[in-house]
Amino acid sequence: MEPAIKLESLTKRYSFKILALRGISMEIEHGACVGFLGPNGAGKSTTIKILTGLIRPTDGKAYLNGKDILLNKKEALSDVGCVVETPDFYTYLTPVDTLTYLGKIRGVDDLDARIEEILKLVKLEDWADTRVGSFSKGMKQRLGIGQALLHDPRLIILDEPSSGLDPKGMAEVRDLILRLKKEGKTLFISSHMLSEIQQTADKVALINKGEILAYDTVDALGKKYFTVREVTVETADPVRDAQLHAVESMAMVRAVTVENGTRLLIRFEGECDECRYDLLRGLFDAGIKVTSFVPKGLALESVYMEMIK
Ligand SMILES: Nc1ncnc2c1ncn2[C@@H]1O[C@H](COP(=O)(O)OP(=O)(O)OP(=O)(O)O)[C@@H](O)[C@H]1O
Ligand SMILES: [Mg+2]
């Protein structure tokens, strides 16, 4: 079977100066939930706009369910639902009007029942007949996801679905994504927040400056790239020079920074829990009264931050 998404050496040049995509290639299999992770300006929206036929690439190919988006846009997009950047709606229409209008264009069967189902799914059932103009960003975002799901597509592409949402809104979007995942949908979701992607995605494609830096499972990425760890240690007494020296001279320690005398930031090398235990024991051996020992950040967070520098 053809992959759900296939990109071949996709390039996009907006101007002489701006080369937004530098020949990216990637395949996403059916049923996968892939996070498209990268900082601002990385090229996420550009990729998604090409995939959804909103703009043309300068070079390269993009296929959805095996169909060339450039040659056969309508067919390529027939089984795809998408939200690109923050969705805009006619402010004077209600969600029911909006979905009815879109559903008719797309030829959705049994439209009224489907709209009711969708509004429930995205938690807008109480706002079904309120004009969109008065909606918050989060509500618009949810309506955007709702319209993407209207024709029950197999492939769903979401560009920063949590942007502008408060923590509750973000949790709702996450639950929605997990639910779609359970239904067997293929999901391609962009984000600049690793923590968001990690909660839902099976695989992560890291993009920066128009290039894919890594594409693998969350676990594999962590194992492959993560060797240096960092811990924050709080101590009961200010750390003395001799103690600091003892920590610095431990084999696995790469760098130590002292803050306020009683906080140590220790970067060290090592893959395993045992390494952390060895480090902690080393601190005790140096006579440091450890009151708190917190590994800093998530494994993948450090990888991500390193890669997008
Ligand atoms: N219409 C445009 N004209 C010119 N340059 C553009 C245009 N759209 C995007 N760019 C540039 O292309 C690069 C990639 O932008 P893109 O919007 O794809 O990034 P992004 O990863 O979606 O970022 P963000 O997280 O901010 O949404 C950026 O340097 C951006 O300034
Ligand atoms: Mg974007």
pLDDT digits (tens, 9 = 90+) for 28-46: 999 999 999 999 999 999 9
Domain range annotation of the chain: 5-223, 226-307
Nearest CA to ligand 1 atom 11: 20
Which of 211, 217, 203 is CA-nearest to residue 308? 211
229 lines ligand 1 (CB under 6 A): no
Give the mutation target among 45, 84, 209 for probing the ligand 1 site: most ligand atoms within 8 A of CB.
45
Give the mutation target among 14, 48, 197, 208 for probing the ligand 1 site: most ligand atoms within 8 A of CB.
14
CATH superfamily label, 5-223: P-loop containing nucleotide triphosphate hydrolases (3.40.50.300)
> Across the chain, where does the E strand assignment appear?
5-13, 19-28, 33-37, 59-64, 67-68, 80-83, 155-159, 186-191, 203-208, 211-217, 228-235, 253-259, 263-269, 290-295
Residue 226 confidence (pLDDT): 58
Claim: this prediction has a pTM higher than 0.75: yes
Query: DSSP 3-state assignment of 234?
Result: strand
Burial of 214 (0-12, 13-18, 19+ CB in 10 A): middle
Q: Can you tell me the distance from the alpha carbon of 39 to that of 23, in angstroms, rounded to the nearest whole number?
A: 18
pLDDT tens for each residue of 58-113 = 999 999 999 999 999 999 999 999 998 877 889 999 999 999 999 998 889 999 99
Q: Which CATH architecture has domain 226-307?
A: 2-Layer Sandwich (3.30)
Q: Can you tell me the distance from the alpha carbon of 57 to that of 213, in angstroms, rounded to the nearest whole number?
A: 20
Distances (CA, A) of 262 to 168, 233, 249, 277: 36, 8, 19, 20
